Amino acid sequence: MVVTPTDLLWDYYRQFQDFYSHCLTFADKRVAGWMLMSSPMYTIYLCIAYLLFVAIGPQIMAKRQPLESKVLLLVYNFSMVALNFYIFVELLTCALKSNYNWICTPVDYSDDPLAVRMAAALWWYYVSKPIEFFDTIMFILRKKTRQVTFLHVYHHVTMPLLWWIGIKWVAGGQAFFGAMVNSSVHVIMYMYYGLAAMGPEMQKRLWWKKHITHYQLIQFLWGMLHCVVSLYVECPFPKWMQYACICYAGSFFLLFSNFYIINYLNKPKKVEQNGSYFLDARIFVDKLNTLVDELDDGRRDVSKLKVIKYPHPTLAPTFVTMATATKTSSDVITNSLPSLSKLKQAHEQELKSQSKITNTLKLQLQDLVEQHARTAQHHNNLTDSRRVAVKKSQGLLAQAAALETDNKGCQKKVESLDREMLEVREEQTTWEDDYSSRMNDIRAKITGSKRNYSPGVVERRGEELREEKVRLLERCLQIEEEIRKEEEENQET
């Protein structure tokens, strides 16, 4: 029997279904009826939709203006501060009231109010993960796609999936620790984002962004150490969850370490050369991207902008020219900003008017194209109709020629029958005359002759003459019938 790839896939699917059904036998029954917990497909669908938006969102926004909504950013960030603070307080309160052991605490699957309260707090932590998709959505709508990195997408798309598993099987016990620490990190992080959304004046006072990354790195190390210690003391908490947390936290530690090294540890290597400073190329690009983001967000004042140069042979003249800019040139730039702003507004208005004209021309061109298509279609239809009409006319002409030939043949046949009928009538007349003459002769002979003719002989001879006359009449009628049929056929034709 040949095994096809489809059969293999179905076999793997059935094996997975059997494995999932087996895992459900020891799942937490308390959370089975909670929102999003009856099936993993709801979470999977949300993550797929998130990835699709990450893929097509920048393309959709490519020709659109970035979304600027300060109120929306403030509401979202401070709402996330409140939600994560609530989760942190709930987890800490339940742990303290339940006398949790910070090294080893198994899951309490009972209906004890504190155990259910702990499970509910962890469920809220899981629910907060899909809500955090809004981070990426706002980056894309504001056209800050440089911040949508692999680390960013990896973090947001994996957290809901893994924590659905956590709530489904281990809603309590050791699971509270990582969620509680991460909630405290998110309180600080969203507080920073909310304050930064207030504007440039507030952003100048936010000096502690780097320390958020410090805290994130510490939480990953702390989480891995917590799981390692639990495994060492043989804590009756599911070991598969412990190993999964170690691997997952380790991946985050590596990715965040790379982020921290690129953004904070790679300081510019300054080399004095004629009063100018030169940087490594990769660091220069990173610093330039950071500078663009700060200028976009209003965190960097253009009047205090310091120029950074890179000594590439083809780029050196440009950077040398930039390096000669002084405070005076900065003042000139600052003073020229209003006029540049007006020029930008005028240019944007002109672009809008040109865009309207372009759209109008596009619509007109589209109408012309559609009209041309309709005309071409109509012309094709007329051409097809003309071809059909020509073929039909040719057929009718051929039929007319055939009918004309048949008509001529019929006329000739009628003329022949007419001649034959005349001949028959003449023959009939001749026979009638001959018959009359013979009868007269016979009568005269009978009357004047002395011979005694037998009456029987006379009658037989008369009968023969009458029969011959009948035959002649039948022949005349037959000829007339043939002539009538030929005339009817000729009229129908």
List the chain domain ranges: 23-265, 270-325, 365-492
pLDDT in tens, 204-256: 888 888 899 899 999 999 999 999 999 999 999 999 999 999 999 999 999 99
Lowest mean pLDDT among 94-108, 317-331, 337-351, 470-484: 317-331
pLDDT, tens digit (0-9, with 9 covering 90-100), for 459-482:
777 788 788 878 888 888 888 888
> What positions carry a catalytic annotation?
155
- In three-state form (DSSP H/G/I as H, E/B as E, the rest C), the secondary structure along the chain is CCCCHHHHHHHHHHHHHHHHHHHHCCCCHHHCCCCCCCCCHHHHHHHHHHHHHHHHHHHHHCCCCCCCCHHHHHHHHHHHHHHHHHHHHHHHHHHHHCCCCCCCCCCCCCCCHHHHHHHHHHHHHHHHHHHCHHHHHHHHHCCCHHHCCHHHHHHHHHHHHHHHHHHHHCCCCCHHHHHHHHHHHHHHHHHHHHHHCCCHHHHCCCCCHHHHHHHHHHHHHHHHHHHHHHHHCCCCCCHHHHHHHHHHHHHHHHHHHHHHHHHHHCCCCCCCECCECECCHHHHHHHHHHHHHHHHHCCCCHHHCCCCECCCCCCHHHHHHHHCCCHHHHHHHHHHHHHHHHHHHHHHHHHHHHHHHHHHHHHHHHHHHHHHHHHHHHHHHHHHHHHHHHHHHHHHHHHHHHHHHHHHHHHHHHHHHHHHHHHHHHHHHHHHHHHHHHHHHHHHHHHHCCCCCCHHHHHHHHHHHHHHHHHHHHHHHHHHHHHHHHHHHHHHC
State the average pLDDT for the chain. 81
As a whole number, mean pLDDT of residues 84-109 equals 94
In this prediction the pTM is: 0.56
Q: Which of 42-51, 77-86, 193-202, 423-432 has the lowest mean pLDDT?
A: 423-432
